[in-house]
């Protein structure tokens, strides 16, 4: 039984016919059109596509940060359209972890304070939050930098801190928007290995990337063009993998 099977086919995220229009009338932009996508536990889905193809829009909708014009988002069995704002806030705090291209760490807080912040916002006692944050930093091999400020960390260490913050306290759906864009390829690979290990432990995730070598860390690669899914390849399809690495 491989790791994915052990964690079962539990669906973490489902997008059903999601469309998104910005603006109205002559200025209307169609950013997504009828997108269907599921992410299961233990599964990392890469999204590739040209600039402006709708990748970031898809991620913000998948994370409940933006409500789509039409279609449904289901996170861990909960239809977001049925969720109260309190339920939505709880899902964002407890299930979802975002990783951004530019790290988005709070400069005035140390690495561990950055990681424990979402837990404290969720009402955790400081001591308990600190222990969980230390666990998350250990996962990305950064416990020895826990008390450093972001300015004193390398780019890769900052991004690993951001990954720790995205998974701390057992967050299970990790949404990463070009998390390796600002990193050299060696450091980018390190960050992806950390992400992959969290996914293999039972989280699920979406990785937006421009880099086919990075997409090859995913189980599936979904290609977006003009807001539509135009192609999908699986990692266990050798010809697809060769194509993705070319
Ligand atoms: P990507 O991340 O693939 O570069 P985006 O999701 O950022 O693509 O953008 C998809 C399309 O939606 C683009 O045409 C972009 O200009 C447009 N768009 C994105 N966000 C907004 C917004 N807040 N208001 C208006 N148009 C937007
Ligand atoms: Mg984008």
Q: How far is the CA of 221 from the centre of ligand 1 (A)?
A: 21
| Residue from 19, 20, 22 to probe ligand 1 pocket by mutation (most atoms less than 8 Å from CB) | 22
The residue whose C-alpha atom lies closest to atom 24 belonging to ligand 1 is 22
Is 175 in contact with 206 (CB distance < 8 Å)?
Answer: yes
Task: Calculate the dihedral angle through the C-alpha atoms of 28, 177, 130, 151, rounding to the nearest 10 degrees.
Answer: -100
Residue 167 pLDDT > 70, yes or no? yes
Ligand of minimum distance to the alpha carbon of 48? 1
Strand pairing partners for 198? none
Query: Can you tell me the mean pLDDT for 93-118?
Result: 93
Query: Can you tell me the mean pLDDT for 160-189?
Result: 90
DSSP per-residue codes, 40-99: ETT-EEEEE--TTSSHHHHHHHHTTSS--SEEEEEETTEEGGG--HHHHHHHHHHTEEEE
Predicted structure pTM score: 0.89
Closest to 48 measured CA to CA, from 233, 192, 197: 233
Ligand 1 atom with least separation from CA of 50 = 3
pLDDT at site 92: 87
| Residue from 23, 49, 54, 102 to probe ligand 1 pocket by mutation (most atoms less than 8 Å from CB) | 54
Query: Can you tell me the mean pLDDT for 20-28?
Result: 90
The residue whose C-alpha atom lies closest to atom 20 belonging to ligand 1 is 57
């Amino acid at each position: 039984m491989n790791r994915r099977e052990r964690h079962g086919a539990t669906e973490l995220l489902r997008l059903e016919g999601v469309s998104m229009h910005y603006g109205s009338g002559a200025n209307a932009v169609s950013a997504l059109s009828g997108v269907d996508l599921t992410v299961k536990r233990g599964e990392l889905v890469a999204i590739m596509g040209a600039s402006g193809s709708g990748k970031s829009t898809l991620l913000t909708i998948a994370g409940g940060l933006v409500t789509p014009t039409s279609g449904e988002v289901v996170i861990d069995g909960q239809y977001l359209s049925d969720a109260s704002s309190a339920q939505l806030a709880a899902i964002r705090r407890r299930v979802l972890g975002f990783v951004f291209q530019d790290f988005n760490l709070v400069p005035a807080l140390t690495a561990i304070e950055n990681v424990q912040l979402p837990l404290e916002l969720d009402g955790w006692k400081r001591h308990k939050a600190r222990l969980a944050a230390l666990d998350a930093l250990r996962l990305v091999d950064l416990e020895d930098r826990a008390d450093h400020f972001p300015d004193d960390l390398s780019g890769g260490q900052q991004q690993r801190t951001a990954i720790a913050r995205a998974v701390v306290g057992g967050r299970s759906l990790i949404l990463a928007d070009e998390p390796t864009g600002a990193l050299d390829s060696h450091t980018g690979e390190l960050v992806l290995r950390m992400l992959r290990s969290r996914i293999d432990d039972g989280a699920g995730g979406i990785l937006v990337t421009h880099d086919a070598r990075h997409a090859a860390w995913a189980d599936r690669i979904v290609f977006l063009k003009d807001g539509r899914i135009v192609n999908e390849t699986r990692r266990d399809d050798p010809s697809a993998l060769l194509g993705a690495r070319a």
